[in-house]
Amino acid sequence: MNEIILSTDRLPVMCSCDYIALTEPYFMAERTPDFNVIIYVVEGSMCITEGKCDYELEAGELLFLKKGLHHYGKDAVPRGTKWYFAHFYLDEPVGDRPEFIPDPDPLGAGERVELNVILPKRISVSKNGQIHNLFAELVKYSQSEDPYKRLRVNGMLYSLLTEAVLQRYTESAMPRLSDRICAWLGEHCNESFSAARLEKEFFLSYKRMAAVFKAEQGETMQQFHTKCRMTRACYLLRSTAMPVREVANAVGYNDPLYFTRCFRSCEGQSPSDYRNSVRAGY
């Protein structure tokens, strides 16, 4: 298989890493390297073939390529694509070691335990998440003038690899993409809806997010965001004496007439009528 196996008792050895931002289309090199490769796409997209497998990577996706396998790019990587990469050596596993499984007491009574860990082939990376930050720090530090960096850089790479493994084990417990989008939209209910900001925040195309969100939540992202804004508007109308114009501004509407139309569509009455009906109930 094309899996890369990490041992718990041996560090990888990094031979190079960098960050690339294309100003012109570019074809990935055709090669069969004697080192393993990590590619993490920050912006744009690319297609990489390893052996007979094609991998189409979007922004926010990380891929491991195994040494000794032929890989190349069939199509040009488009202008504007940005990615991190690292090349590293990793000793082949020795003997028939057990595979790592989560264990709260892995060491036993002082026993030396050596395990194999299978790196995930491909994972999604959150913007400003642990893996993203580790990769950026690794590249920055590897290019520093620190004379002791060879003592540290392989340990930093090992931390990056183990975070990729941990994501494999915790992914099933992670909230769904649509739930994370809901949380973000709720936190930004005082702003107008922005597809571009969502793409930057989640490292995914708006089209993909929209399809997943609709399938999992039964409504569009715009509909959910509007409901969040109107819920906040209702709270302000109930609990403050703010004029309707100020309430509209507080939930991201510059035009109070448009806000009133949206509010009426959601709540069945105007903001003023809603406020009066609530006060009449006390």
Residues 46 and 63: their CA atoms lie apart, in Å, by: 11
SS3 264: helix
Of residues 95, 55, 52, 49, the one with CA closest to residue 72: 49
Spell out the alpha helix ranges (H) of the chain: 130-142, 149-170, 177-187, 195-202, 206-217, 221-239, 244-250, 256-267, 271-281
User: Residue 94: its pLDDT value, please?
Assistant: 66
Are 131 and 36 within 8 A, CB to CB? no
Residue intervals in the chain for CATH 2.60.120.10: 5-173
Sheet of strand 71-72, all strands in order from the earlier edge strand to the far edge: 53-58, 45-50, 71-72
User: Residue 112: its pLDDT value, please?
Assistant: 61
User: Residue 177: its pLDDT value, please?
Assistant: 85
SS3 129: coil
SS3 239: helix
Are 68 and 112 within 8 A, CB to CB? no
Residue intervals in the chain for CATH 1.10.10.60: 177-281
Residues 224 and 183: their CA atoms lie apart, in Å, by: 11
Of residues 18, 1, 237, the one with CA closest to residue 142: 18
User: Residue 262: its pLDDT value, please?
Assistant: 93
User: Residue 173: its pLDDT value, please?
Assistant: 52
Residues 25 and 246: their CA atoms lie apart, in Å, by: 48
| pLDDT tens, position by position, 111-149 | 566 778 889 899 988 877 899 999 999 999 999 999 999
- What does residue 114 show for φ and ψ, rounded to 5 degrees? -115, 120
**Number of Cα atoms under 13 Å in the Cβ half of residue 29:** 4
Low-confidence ranges of the chain (pLDDT < 50): 109
CATH number among 1.10.10.60, 3.40.640.10, 1.10.3720.10, 3.30.360.10, domain 177-281? 1.10.10.60
Question: 5-173: which CATH architecture?
Answer: Sandwich (2.60)
User: Residue 282: its pLDDT value, please?
Assistant: 52
Spell out the alpha helix ranges (H) of 18-122: none
For residue 22, give both structure tokens. 């294309």
User: Residue 233: its pLDDT value, please?
Assistant: 92
The pTM for the full model equals 0.61
Residues 192 and 229: their CA atoms lie apart, in Å, by: 9
